[in-house]
Amino acid sequence: MSLATILTADRTELLATTSVALILISLFTNDFLPQVSTVGISCLLLTALLHSSAHWQIIQKKQWRVYASLTGVFLLHLVAGLNTSEANRAAFWADVQHQLPFLVLPVAFWLLPPLSSQTLRRFYLLFYYLVVLSALGSTGYYLLHAAEINQLYYQSQIMPTVPDYIRFSLMVTLAITIGGLFLINNVVNGRHRLAVLLATAFLILYLYLLSVRSGLVAFNVLGIVTLLLCLVKRYYHQALSIGVLLLVLPFLSFWCFPTFHNKYYNTKDDVGRVEEVSSANNFSLVGRVYSYKVGLQIAQAHPFVGVSKADMQDEIATYYKADFPDIEPSAYLLPHNQFLYCLVAFGEFGLLIFIGCFYYPLFWSRTKTAPLLIAQYIIISLSFLVEYTLDQKNQTGLLFTLLFLLLPLNGLMSPARSEVGWRPS
């Protein structure tokens, strides 16, 4: 019996489904069980390699550019080794290992046949309900410790979430988008439709209860984009409903959610302390501002190829000591902006390569209908402005970013079998 006979299309899809499901679950387990993502990614690559070798064909062969562009992000990190000092060679190889999903996942998705619409919908629903369950757990914890957590919001701290609150707020925003699109496209019916409607409404309220700036900004920007699209298509009633919702939610949350109220005044206090250098030791927003200042200074000193990612920590410490001695070493921050981070690490050439590689799939899809792809790019791009999302020590941000670019891209590919109904993309 040949490998092609054993690895039929249905079995290949089953193996791929299991692998991707493990990666989705790993988004919520990476803090305490990082091996789950490793197993999922390894199984997906193995499935892809076995399938391509068994059938001697790559159905998505002509689409190699869109996948190769994402692998360019990995190659950028790899080439940075040429500019890394010998003392930080171990940190360089650790970074290469950290960025491996940018090599492995695009290759695996390219080698595999496009997944069925049903499988793609199941992936989104799995992620959606994992977010809902995590949000319910977080809300329950808040209700049991409300007074204590409300006070923490005055101190730039947030209620516990799984995963960490910044990444989770972005996931909640994407989950709200998924819920809305599944309702609009009639993917769910009957009681399931009611459950998704109620769960999506809960997630919107939870996002304001959580009160993480990244998630709130992404949600409101997506809301404004949706409003504008409704106006262009002359869906005036829907546009009015969205506009009222976006205006009412902040005021309602200010009066109903102590977390939102306290976060507002905490942010206001943070902004007022930006001119006090020593405030960077205790206030997160002030610390980020000075991370930008230091990052820009390093970028000006090393404009073309940067200082390499592995050497960045040492270089930043030098500049902090020289220019901002009032800031303690424990408060030294890497540039909290993905674009500035890449500029410091890889220089102007590296930043241009990163932008070209990372955003090429969006350019490629410009003539297609891809709401989930566009939503993910908006969410992640906004997070890039205040975080180095792809380079955090935990891989959650990287995997969340990459997987929810690859899944809608897969949805844009033509499946081998004819299908009816909405194909998530």
For range 125-130, the mean pLDDT:
98
> Which residue type is seen at 255?
W
Residue 44 contacts by C-beta under 8 Å, 6 or more apart in sequence?
16, 19, 20, 23, 104, 105, 108, 112
Q: Give dist(CA 410, CA 357) in Å, integer.
A: 17
For range 247-275, the mean pLDDT:
91
pLDDT value for 349: 96
Angle in degrees, CA 25, 387, 253, rounded to 5: 80
Q: What is the pLDDT of residues 412-424, one digit of tens each?
A: 998 877 777 789 9
| 223-258 per-residue burial string, b: 16 or more CB within 10 A, e: under 16 | beebbeebeeeeeeebbeebeeeeeebeeebeeebb
The answer for 186, left when phi > 0, alpha when psi is -120 to 50, beta otherwise, is left
DSSP 62: G
Alpha carbon 384 to chain centroid, angstroms: 9
Residue 197 contacts by C-beta under 8 Å, 6 or more apart in sequence?
179, 183
**378 vs 8 pLDDT, higher one:** 378
Q: Is the pLDDT of residue 4 over 70?
A: no
Q: Is the pLDDT of residue 104 over 90?
A: yes
Nearest in space to 361 (alpha carbons), one of 396, 414, 416, 412? 412
Q: Give dist(CA 180, CA 186) in Å, integer.
A: 10
DSSP 414: P
Tokens of 127: 């992620």
Q: Give dist(CA 23, CA 14) in Å, integer.
A: 14
Residue percentage of the chain with pLDDT more than 70? 99
Residue percentage of the chain with pLDDT more than 90? 83
Q: Is the pLDDT of residue 271 over 90?
A: no
For range 190-219, the mean pLDDT:
97
Q: What is the DSSP string of 189-232?
A: -HHHHHHHHHHHHHHHHHHHHHT-HHHHHHHHHHHHHHHHHHHH
Q: What mean pLDDT value characterizes the chain?
A: 93
Residue 230 contacts by C-beta under 8 Å, 6 or more apart in sequence?
236, 238, 239, 242
Using CA atoms, how far residue 254 sits from 136, 158, 263, 272, 341, in Å, is 21, 16, 10, 20, 34
Quick count: other Cβ atoms within 10 Å of Cβ 82? 8
Residue 363: pLDDT band by 50, 70, 90 thresholds?
very high
SS3 content of the chain, % helix, strand, coil (to 5): 75, 0, 25
The answer to whether the beta carbons of residues 3 and 54 sit under 8 Å apart is yes
Task: Report the run of H or E that residue 300 belongs to, with start and end.
Answer: helix 284-301
DSSP 329: G
Q: What is the pLDDT of residues 289-312, one digit of tens each?
A: 999 999 999 999 999 999 999 999
Residue 1: pLDDT band by 50, 70, 90 thresholds?
low
Q: Is the pLDDT of residue 326 over 80?
A: yes
For range 385-405, the mean pLDDT:
95
The answer to whether the beta carbons of residues 335 and 341 sit under 8 Å apart is yes
Least confident segment among 80-94, 164-178, 199-213: 80-94
Q: Is the pLDDT of residue 27 over 70?
A: yes
Q: Is the pLDDT of residue 59 over 90?
A: no
Q: What is the 3-state secondary structure (H, E, C) of 229-263?
A: HHHHCCCHHHHHHHHHHHHHHHHHHHHHCHHHHHH
pLDDT value for 3: 67
Q: Give dist(CA 406, CA 396) in Å, integer.
A: 15
3-class DSSP state of 118: helix
Nearest in space to 382 (alpha carbons), one of 88, 76, 173, 130? 173
| 339-357 per-residue burial string, b: 16 or more CB within 10 A, e: under 16 | bbbbbbbbbeebbebbeeb
Q: Please state at what angle helix 165-184 crosses helix 371-384, rounded to 10 degrees.
A: 160
Q: Give dist(CA 151, CA 358) in Å, integer.
A: 40
For range 237-255, the mean pLDDT:
95
Place of tokens 């996931």: 171
